[in-house]
Structure 1
Amino acid sequence: MATIRKLRGRWQAQVRRRGMKPRCKSFDSKLEAEKWARDLEAQVDRFGAAPDTKILESTTLDQLLERYQREVSPNKRGSVQEIQRIEVLRRHELAYRTMIGLSQQDIASFRDERLQSVASSTVVRELAILSHVIEVSIRDWGLPLAKNVVKMVRRPVIQNERSRRLTGDEEQRLLDGCDGGKIPYFRTLLIVAIETGMRRGELLGLRWSDVSHNRRVIRLAMTKNGTSREVPLSQRAFDALADWKSRADVDQSTIFPMTAGALEQAWYRLLKRAGVTGLRFHDLRHEGVSRLFERGLNMIEVSSISGHRELRMLKRYTHLSVDDLVARLG
């Protein structure tokens, strides 16, 4: 147990443990002294010795973020996006805090401040990065921290679930609008997106070698979840791909040779030509997954096509037509 005593107007905490040099420190209040002693004892219990807190006094959060960005992020599938997020974090004043001074209140203040300017989902991702940076620092880099303060802070609730689906003649208007654009394969891209429910990155990464014409299947070697899967093609999607292949340069690297940024710009131009509002390209995935259910596939079958590993997440993407459900109920 630590010894707390008042000495020359200040409170002194002293921790003695077998196998370590006695440590003492003075504080203005008894509460601060007791907290320091508890934290030190917890660190001794965890590491087997009193850690050298000098490294915590000289190490900033920015230094850990920089090392993580350099050593850990490049090995991840979403490395580009994570590195960009870390750059944002490194520019924030929180990055200048030393690790000995980084507190739960600092993280909570950072959270509340960021919520004023960005979406809850963005803040959740940023907190996840901060938490993993500290976790790696403790487990792999030997930083003598007693706890991960980010884990002690409540995460914002994400309320971005969408239920937007194609209504009326919107699909036909979008397809007709593709004819007025300058991208010859955009119509095929939309049909495949609607028919399969594939993600944007999966669509843009498709190669002709991924399409098995004999089996009428697309094989995705690597997906967002880090696993491979096979996506069956409806006759409509298969015919659209076959038509585009007959006109395309089969030597090009991908079936739809465009970047995510170019797709976003082309999408907004298409919406304007078609007179459609409030629709995101990602909503086509909602549409595709919902149609699979409406065709009578069960949740396991749909998840094998859409690539959802968690059924609770699949439910978020599923918005069945109430009219169709009424018809099925008779």
Structure 2
Amino acid sequence: MATIRKLRGRWQAQVRRRGMKPRAKSFDSKAEAEKWARDLEAQVDRFGAAPDTKILETTTLGSLLERYQREVTPTKRGAVQEDQRIEVLRRHDLSHRTLIGLSQQDIASFRDERLQSVAPSTTVREMAILSHVLEVAARDWGMPLAKNVVKLVRRPVIRNERSRRLTDDEEQRLLDGCDAGLVPYFKTLVILAVETGMRRGEILGLEWSDISHNRRVITLTMTKNGSGREVPLSQRAFEALTDWREKADVDQSTVFPMTAGALEQAWRRLLARSNVKALRFHDLRHEAVSRMFERGLNMIEVSSISGHKELRMLKRYTHLSADDLVARLG
């Protein structure tokens, strides 16, 4: 059991355990002293001895983030987005905390502060990065961390479910708007999104070699969830792709030579031309998944097409038309 006492105006914590040299350290507050003692005792229980915590006293969270950004982030599929988030974290005051001083309360304060300026989903992603940084530091870089303090803090609840479906003649207006635009393949791109439920990145990364014309199937070798899948093509989607193939540059391996930023700009212009309000491109995936259920496909069949690994997540995208359900009920 640690001894906490006030000595010459400061609080001293002393930890004595059998088989280890007594360790003592002074702090400005009693709470800091008690935390240091608890952490040291936890390390003794975990490692069987008191590890050298000097490295934790000199290493800041910011330096860990910088190393992680340099060594780990480039190996990830979402490296660009994670790199941007780490830059935000490195500019935050939290990055100046040493690992020995980083506490559960620090993370909770960071969470509450971020929620004042960004969405809960953004805060959750930033906390996930912090958590993984500490995990990598302890597991791969030999940092003697007693615990991952991020895991002890409640993460915000994300409530971003959308129920936006295409209504009335919106789909036709969008397709007509594509014909009036400057991007010759945008109509094919929109049809593919509505028919298959593929993600934006999957569509933009599609190559002609990924499409089997004999089987009428698209093969995605790597997707957002880390695994590949095969996406069957409806007759409508297949004909749209075939038509675009006849017009496309024969030397162009990519089906849709467009960046994510260019797609967003083209999408906004399309909505304005079509007079369609409050529709995100991602809502086309939502629409596609809902239509699959309305056509009678079951949960397993839809997930194999859409790529959802968790059926709980799949339900968020599913808003069935009551009119179609009435027809099926008879």
Over aligned residues, Cα RMSD in angstroms? 1.7
Q: Which runs of 5+ in 2 are unaligned?
A: none
Q: Does residue 172 of structure 1 match 2:179?
A: no
- The 5-angstrom pairing of residues 117-266 of structure 1 reads 117-266=117-266
Q: Which runs of 5+ in 1 are unaligned?
A: none
Cα separation, 2, equivalents of 1:316 and 1:155: 20
- Quick check: 144-153 or 1-10, which moved more? 1-10
Q: List per-residue Cα deviations over 1:19-68 (Å, max 9, x = no partner).
A: 32211234567665544333221111112222222211211111000111
Does structure 1 retain, via aligned residues, the 8 Å contact 2:209–2:253? no
- Quick check: 161-170 or 224-233, which moved more? 224-233
Q: List per-residue Cα deviations over 1:164-215 (Å, max 9, x = no partner).
A: 0100000000000011111000000001110001000010111111111111
The one-letter amino acid of 1:263's match is: L
Compute the displacement of 1:247 (Å).
0.8
- 2:310 alignment counterpart: 310
Overall identity of the aligned pairs, in % = 84
Cα separation, 1, equivalents of 2:31 and 2:247: 76
Secondary structure (helix, strand or coil) at the match of 1:230 reads strand
Does structure 2 retain, via aligned residues, the 8 Å contact 1:208–1:250? no
Secondary structure (helix, strand or coil) at the match of 1:238 reads helix
Q: List per-residue Cα deviations over 1:257-293 (Å, max 9, x = no partner).
A: 0000000000000000000000000000001111111
Cα separation, 2, equivalents of 1:8 and 1:81: 50
The one-letter amino acid of 2:200's match is: R
Secondary structure (helix, strand or coil) at the match of 1:160 reads coil
- 1:51 alignment counterpart: 51
Cα separation, 2, equivalents of 1:208 and 1:6: 73
Compute the displacement of 1:4 (Å).
4.7
Q: List per-residue Cα deviations over 1:200-251 (Å, max 9, x = no partner).
A: 0010111111111111111111111111111111110011111111111132
1:7–1:92 Cα change, 3 Å: closer
Cα separation, 1, equivalents of 2:320 and 2:208: 32
The one-letter amino acid of 2:282's match is: H
Cα separation, 1, equivalents of 2:159 and 2:102: 29
- 2:109 alignment counterpart: 109
Cα separation, 1, equivalents of 2:116 and 2:52: 38
Does structure 2 retain, via aligned residues, the 8 Å contact 1:62–1:96? yes
Cα separation, 1, equivalents of 2:9 and 2:177: 80
Cα separation, 2, equivalents of 1:65 and 1:143: 14
Secondary structure (helix, strand or coil) at the match of 1:25 reads strand
The one-letter amino acid of 1:157's match is: V
- 1:14 alignment counterpart: 14
1:168–1:58 Cα change, 3 Å: same
- The 5-angstrom pairing of residues 92-103 of structure 1 reads 92-103=92-103
1:14–1:301 Cα change, 3 Å: same
- TM-score w.r.t. structure 2 length? 0.95
Q: List per-residue Cα deviations over 1:2-21 (Å, max 9, x = no partner).
A: 34556667664432233322
- 1:62 alignment counterpart: 62
- 2:277 alignment counterpart: 277
Secondary structure (helix, strand or coil) at the match of 1:249 reads coil
Secondary structure (helix, strand or coil) at the match of 1:284 reads helix
Does structure 2 retain, via aligned residues, the 8 Å contact 1:57–1:100? yes
Q: Does residue 287 of structure 1 match 2:261?
A: no
Does structure 1 retain, via aligned residues, the 8 Å contact 2:178–2:186? yes
Cα separation, 2, equivalents of 1:29 and 1:254: 62
